[in-house]
Each structure stands twice: as C-alpha cells, then as structure tokens.
Amino acid sequence: MTSARHKGRWVGAGLMVLLLVAVLLVLWFRHTFHRVEKTLYLPPSGEAAYNPLYALAKTLEADGVKVNARQRLMLDDNMLAPGDTLLLFNDPRALSPPEAERLLEWVEGGGHLLIRTPLYSPGEDLSGRDATPPAMLDLLSAWLVDEGPRCEDLQVEGEGHHVEFCRGRRFVFDDVVPELAWGDLQAGYVYARLAVGKGHVDVLADFDFLANTAARGFLQDTPDVAPSGGLRDGPHRALARQVLAPNYGQGTMHLVYAAEMPSLWRTLYLQGWMVWAPLLLALLAWLWMRMQRFGPPVPSPAGERRSLLEHVRASGEHLYRYGRGVMLYSAVRQAFLARLRRRDPVAAALAGEPQVAAIAERTGQPADRVRTALNVPASHDRQAFRDRIALLIQLRNRL
C-alpha cells in the first residue's frame, strides 16, 4: 500500500514538472516571437501573363471605353469605323504593304492609328535612304535613324523626374511637318503625330509605357519586390492619356498585341525545380556508378571454356586410359540395339547369324562387317576398338 502511494506521488510530481516546462515554453515563445505581415507579389496568371496590354484594356473598360484586344490584326473580321482607334503594339515590319494602304485609307476617314518603330539592333543598318523601311513608315515618308537609343526627359506635374524612350529607335520625315512632335530633325523624333485626312497617325519610338509592367530580368522575379514600370507609373499614365486623346471615348479602342508567352525553359527552371533537381541528382548518381575506374582497362575474366561435348569426350578418354574400353563399346552397342528394337523388332528378336543377316540386309552392309561390329574387341587393341565403335555408329545411322 505504501509503495503504491509513493509511486503515485512520483507520477504527480512528474506531471507537475512537465506542465511547468510547457508553461515556460509558451511564455518564452510569446516573449521572443511576434507576428510579422509580409506582402508577396505573385506573378501574373491567365491573360495578364501573355497580354502586355491587359492593364491598359482593363483601365479603358473601367473608364467606359469599348475595347477590342486581340493578338493579330485580322481586318476582315474586325471592321474599323471612322471614330475608332487602332494601337499596333507589334513590330511594324510584320505589316504587309496592302494592309498598310488599307489602314491609311481608314485613317483618312477619321481613324486614329498608333504604331511604333522597330527595336534597335546593333549592327542592323536601317538609316540609309536606300534601305527598305517598314511599309507603314514608307507610306508616311519616315525613315529610321541609325544611332543608339537615347533617353528623353519627361516631367509631369506632381511627379518626380522621369525619362522615357530609352530603348526606342528614333525617326525623321521627308518633307512632312508633324502636327505634334517630340525630338528634332538632327537627333530624330521619339514621338510624332501626323494629320492624315480626317484622322491622325501617331508614330512612337517605343510602347513600353503602355505595358502592364516594366520588363524584368530572368532572375529578378522575387515575390517580395513590387512590380513597377508600365502603367503603374504616374508619368506613363499621363503620357498614355495624351497619345490616345484624338478619338478617346468616340469609338472602339482596338489593341493588337503579340502574345508574350513565357519561355518553357524559364518556366521549368523557376517552377519545376522540384522535379528536375532530383532527376538531375539521380542521373549524376547513375553516371557515377556506371563510370569506369581510372587507369588501364582490366580484361574481363575468362568464362567457362569446356562445353558438354568436351566433358563427355574427356570422360571417355579417362575410361579408355584406365582399361575401361569394353564399357564404352558396350554402351555404343546397347545404343545400337535399342534403336534396332524400335526400327526392326523382328531383327532385334533374332540371335546369332540370322540376326547378322537381317541387320546386313536392312543396312546394306556386308555380313562380315556387321558380325565384326557386334563382337567385343580386345581391351588392348585400340585400332579394333575405334573401327568397331565407328562401324556401330554407322549402322545405327542407317537404321
């Protein structure tokens, strides 16, 4: 009874110690750790992942403007009205001459067209008058300046200092005076608005200020850094409102963009490492296991040389060497008689000379050779042994 009472006291003391330790751990945790809120910026998904003008389209729709965003021009399926606006975000060199002429006819009726110059490529010569410019720029009497990009200052009231068109390609005109221009004839323009009939054509060096965000590097997609650039910047929104002004709110805003699908390899590298990293380690481990050792190659060990026939021959030579030739002859003779019983039971049932005559008649051999083959040779006569064995095999094959 006393032992049980002491045991219960020890159990109670142990429980009290565990409870005290748990309370101390909870107090230490509450004193040491505190809640922290952290904002993570997830990458775009859905249409926003491949449509660079997705933010512009949603902004225009929120402002009550009818928007038609698509990846290709498709003039036959999307008729342009006189009060519409068409923004070609794609490279203007993809525009064919018939399409360019058709768009200019639409602009003369009151449309508003916005195009850009091709991206600057070092080593590509598009500056000379003999070089072939894009079809639309050729119809507008514009040609490209073959110089590296230079930034233009952009100051918007209430915003900090800003620069624009740092990656764009400048252009100049032949005997054409733009209605609005940004730049000069010596360095080239970065923006110009031309009056064509009742409409307008805006030529810009770049459309990066209309995109969702600024272009980000391959390893810069960190979730804790807020995206910037594009329409997220105040100066860009003000500039976008100015270039879209002529027909703003009158008709449909056609936004033609080239889908910017993320690279498959980039997607696998950033999001599929949980799969390719273990597979790569397994491949390296397999290659290490299969790799030959350093130094000269070691020849493979020789395999078993003897076959079954060689073993049988060796056994026969062993028996014959130790005077057991009669045993070998008897085995061959029994094999011959066994086949004779299967093929000619009558001859096998005979004995003596009648049997010799029956075997000679069936095999076509002389009776003397058959008689000799059936007689046991002397154990010391090797030639007789070989002859009788060979003759028995020959007779057996003739049955």
In this structure, the answer to whether residues 145 and 250 fall within a common structural domain is: yes
**Is the same domain home to 237 and 365?**
no
In a domain, 5, yes or no: no
- Asked if the model's pLDDT at residue 156 lies above 60, the reply is yes
Predicted confidence at residue 150, as pLDDT, reads 81
User: Is 20 a member of any domain?
Assistant: no
| Final residue in a domain of this structure, among 234, 268, 302 | 268
Q: Are residues 354 and 253 part of one domain?
A: no
Instruction: Based on the fold, state whether residues 71 and 179 are members of the same structural domain.
Output: yes
Q: Which of 238, 268, 298 corresponds to the end of one domain?
A: 268
- Low-confidence winner among 95-109, 309-323, 363-377 (lowest mean pLDDT): 309-323
**pLDDT (0 to 100) of residue 217:** 46
From CA 40, how far away is CA 61, in angstroms rounded? 27
Overall domain count for the chain: 2
What pLDDT, on a 0 to 100 scale, did the predictor assign at position 305?
61
Mark whether 248 and 370 lie in a shared domain: no
In the chain, which residue ranges form alpha helices assigned H by DSSP?
Answer: 2-32, 54-62, 97-108, 135-139, 234-243, 264-271, 273-290, 308-321, 325-343, 345-349, 353-363, 367-374, 382-398
Q: Are residues 146 and 240 in the same domain?
A: yes
Q: Is residue 4 predicted with pLDDT exceeding 70?
A: no
Contact indicator for 203, 142 with CB cutoff of 8 Å = yes
Q: Which two tokens stand for residue 155?
A: 């100051």
Residue 289 falls inside a structural domain: no
DSSP letter string over 301-334? Answer: PP-----HHHHHHHHHHHHHHTT-HHHHHHHHHH
Percent of the chain's residues with pLDDT above 70: 87
User: 103 falls in which pLDDT band (50, 70, 90)?
Assistant: very high
Higher pLDDT, 81 or 327: 81
127 falls in which pLDDT band (50, 70, 90)? very low
| Cβ atoms within 10 Å of 355's Cβ, excluding its own | 19
Residue 125 has pLDDT above 80, yes or no: no
Are 329 and 232 part of one and the same domain?
A: no
Distance CA 348, CA 285 (A): 71
- At 215, the amino acid letter reads A
* pTM value surpassing 0.75: no
Half-sphere exposure of 147 (CA within 13 A, CB side): 15
Residues 115 and 261 in one domain: yes
Give me 224's structure tokens. Answer: 């804790």
Nearest to 159 by CA among 60, 238, 244: 238
Q: Tell whether 67 and 164 lie within a shared domain.
A: yes
Please indicate, yes or no, if residue 353 is contained in any of the structural domains: yes
- pLDDT score of 69: 92
Specify if 351 maps to a domain: yes
pLDDT at residue 45 greater than cutoff 90 = no
Residue of higher predicted confidence among 22 and 295: 22
Residues 116 and 205 sit within 8 Å (Cβ to Cβ): yes
Residue 8 tokens, joined? 């219960």
Q: Which segment, 112-116, 226-230, 262-266, is predicted with the most confidence on average?
A: 112-116
Read off the pLDDT band of 283 (50, 70, 90).
very high
Q: Strand 152-154 vs strand 142-144: parallel, antiparallel, or unpaired?
A: unpaired
Tell me, yes or no, whether 128 and 248 share the same domain: yes
**Residue 31 within any structural domain of the chain:** no
Residue 82 confidence class, pLDDT cut points 50, 70, 90: very high
Residue 265 to residue 256: CA distance in whole angstroms:
27
- Provide Rg for the chain, Cα atoms: 50
Q: Kindly tell me if the per-residue pLDDT of 158 is higher than 80.
A: no
| 248 and 191 in a common domain | yes
Q: CA 39, 41, 44: angle at the middle one, nearest 5?
A: 155
Structural tokens at position 203: 């030529």
- Let me know whether 196 and 112 are in one domain: yes
- Higher confidence at residue 141 or residue 229? 141
Can you give the residue range of the structural domain that contains 389?
A: 310-398
Q: Is residue 52 part of a domain?
A: yes
- 206 inside domain: yes
196-238, pLDDT tens digit by residue?
999 999 999 989 889 888 765 444 456 777 777 788 888 888 8
